[in-house]
Amino acid sequence: MEQTIIGWLKDRAARTPERPALCTKAAGGFRWWTWHDFHSMVLRTAVALRDWGVAPGDRVAQWSENRLEWITCDLALQWLAAVHVPFHANLPAGQASLQIQHSGTTRVLISGRGALEKLRSIEGQLPRALACLTFDDCHGSLVDHPVRRLASFVPPQLEPRDEADLNDRAQALVSSDTLATILYTSGTSGGPKGVMLTQRNLATNAAATWPATGEQADDLKLAFLPLSHIFARTCDLYIWIACGNRLALAESRESVLDDCQQVRPSWINAVPYFYDKLCELAGGDKSAADKLRELLGGRIRSCQCGGAAVRQSTFDFFWQCGVPLFPGYGLTEASPVVSVSAPNAVRWGAVGRPPAGVEVRLTDDGEILTRGSHVMQGYWQDEKATAETIRDGWLHTGDLGAWDEQGLLQIRGRKKEMIVTATGHKFQPSRLEMLLVQDPRIEQAFVTGDARGFPIALIVPQPLGAADDPRPAEELRQRIDVCLAGLSPHEQIRHFAVLPRPLSMEHGELTPKASLRRAEIVRNWSAELESLGRPADLRMPDASP
């Protein structure tokens, strides 16, 4: 068998069968499975999906929060050479309908009643042949088909004939070029696209990333980012199999700190928001270092950070407390890792260097291009978008970057987000946003341009509740000016509005990795943005020459 994720799993189970592999929450505590136990679970799940009728090339959606079944179903689908189409647990029903139709999905795996009710709300838009299995016990039907429970198909033990059949199928059907998954991007600009990732994409990116980060076989990782997102799927799940260390699955996002006390992880992958909250909880007194380590269970060795830029204050705080925090950079189309920080290649404002086999170069206008076996196969049923994004083997990321004096990659914003002012100057909204949220009183910031192209902003303060009080707004005016003091006059925020609530995934304003969805923010807060040109607003002096 060629280098594939399931090939790794088979080899891992053969080499270290009795080594602890995975633990999940059960009855208030964590239960461990060995590599042998876990491998058997995956194969028994593959038998169940085979008997349910899953065939090679079938697109099978999975709509679930993180849980044991998410992992076993993902690997079982790969064993059957089917195509896994994961949905984020909080995906709105309308988007799920579009993704089911676009991908040609005819089978869906769901966690329980919540997802089932969402599917029933769009029943008229679903394929009539759609079949549904649930992880929890749910009664009823969907598009005239009975809803069945996965457990009813899973055999209590693996029969030798079934294992032989599965291995023969995998040997014949699963290669490095086999399409493993279609991941729908969150669409920070424009509509979502189905990113096609093969076994080669996933395996080579995982194999290159874990040595670059320094992850080791004796590490214990606590996973709580959504596995439906490629960051967690590659860096928590597939690297775990490649490296052969231990993985603990958090009970939920809300239980992470409690889970840290029980599991005592040495390794965590998370987004900046999580690390910001840890800073707040640890406080700023002399005991902060001990408090931070205690919050994470006392054995933490490395904190990896991706998905967005980390605040400088957060980055500095972690390092001052002796808890290394390593920013990285990637995107779904690159499986996802493009660059990683390491102990000898880390500083705030940079995202490290490309791992082995990942080529990166910058165009004349600063766009980041990457080439290698990690680059996606293309966009599902969208040859035009694929041809626009991958040219001469180079993936055009749409992100702008630069190399610093140490040869580390810096992210400068999105190429398509560049705004040109009426005076012909250009500014990058995401760069201003990154600088603004460095201030502890600014929780979130969204920057765009007014009718003349000059910067305006929506600000979510910390704490909330300042929208109708002019004193906090005046204080924010001063803080904004300090944050942007080093920038040119045309990059200064002219006007801003203070929002009464945070930007959120529930309102469609954030992606699952907390990136801003600009079109949705403009749509939701159009009145506030339009009002920023009125005379009553707080104003900056005219920035034009």
pLDDT in tens, 324-336: 999 999 999 999 9
- Quick check: 275 and 42 in contact, CB under 8 A? no
- Quick check: 496 and 538 in contact, CB under 8 A? yes
In this predicted structure, what is the pLDDT of residue 232? 97
Helix (H, G, I), strand (E, B) or coil at 404: coil
Provide the token pair at 198.
């093969």
Q: If pLDDT is split at 50, 70 and 90, which confidence band does 535 have?
A: very low
| Cα-based distances in Å from 286 to 283, 317, 471 | 9, 12, 32
- Quick check: 149 and 45 in contact, CB under 8 A? no
119 contact partners, CB below 8 Å, separation of at least 6: 63, 93, 96, 108, 110, 126, 132, 142
Out of 22-26, 267-271, 470-474, least confident range: 470-474
- Please name the helix (run of DSSP H) or strand (run of DSSP E) that holds residue 419, with its range, or none: strand 419-420
Q: For all residues of the chain together, what is the average pLDDT? A: 92
- Nearest one of 144, 78, 132, 72 to 108, comparing CA atoms: 132
Helix (H, G, I), strand (E, B) or coil at 187: coil
CA atoms within 13 A on the CB side of 480: 30
pLDDT tens per residue, range 373-385: 999 999 999 999 9
Q: What stretches of 319-386 adopt beta strand conformation (E)?
A: 325-330, 337-340, 359-362, 367-371, 378-379
- Is the peptide bond between 463 and the residue preceding it cis, with omega within 30 degrees of 0? yes
**Phi, psi for 115 (deg, rounded to 5):** -65, -35
- Nearest one of 272, 261, 336 to 304, comparing CA atoms: 272
- Quick check: 448 and 429 in contact, CB under 8 A? yes
In this predicted structure, what is the pLDDT of residue 471? 59
390 contact partners, CB below 8 Å, separation of at least 6: 375, 376, 378, 396
Provide the token pair at 471.
């004193």
CA distance 328 to 156: 42
In this predicted structure, what is the pLDDT of residue 278? 96
In this predicted structure, what is the pLDDT of residue 533? 59
Provide the token pair at 357.
């086999």
Q: If pLDDT is split at 50, 70 and 90, which confidence band does 540 have?
A: very low
pLDDT tens per residue, range 101-117: 999 999 999 999 999 99
* Residues shown for the chain: 545
Residue 400, pLDDT > 60, answer: yes
- Quick check: 369 and 401 in contact, CB under 8 A? no
- Nearest one of 180, 179, 185 to 98, comparing CA atoms: 185
- Nearest one of 152, 151, 156, 149 to 131, comparing CA atoms: 149
Specify the long-range contacts of residues 104-107, CB closer than 8 Å, at least 24 apart.
Answer: 104/59, 105/59, 105/60, 105/61, 105/130, 106/58, 106/59, 106/130, 106/131, 107/52, 107/53, 107/54, 107/58, 107/60, 107/61, 107/131, 107/132, 107/133
- Is the peptide bond between 354 and the residue preceding it cis, with omega within 30 degrees of 0? no
Which domains are seen in the chain, by residue range? 5-20+33-175 (3.40.50.980), 200-415 (3.40.50.12780), 418-531 (3.30.300.30)
pLDDT tens per residue, range 181-209: 999 986 444 567 999 999 999 999 999 99
> Which DSSP state fits 236?
I
CA distance 393 to 400: 19
CA 62 distance to own-chain centroid: 16
pLDDT tens per residue, range 209-245: 999 999 999 999 999 999 999 999 999 999 999 999 9
Kindly state the average pLDDT of the residues 255-281: 95
Helix (H, G, I), strand (E, B) or coil at 181: strand
Helix (H, G, I), strand (E, B) or coil at 114: helix
- Nearest one of 91, 150, 97 to 122, comparing CA atoms: 97
The amino acid at residue 246 is R
CA distance 209 to 204: 8
- Quick check: 462 and 441 in contact, CB under 8 A? yes
Q: If pLDDT is split at 50, 70 and 90, which confidence band does 89 have?
A: very high
CA distance 537 to 479: 17
Tokens 């059960």 belong to residue: 26
Residue 536, pLDDT > 90, answer: no
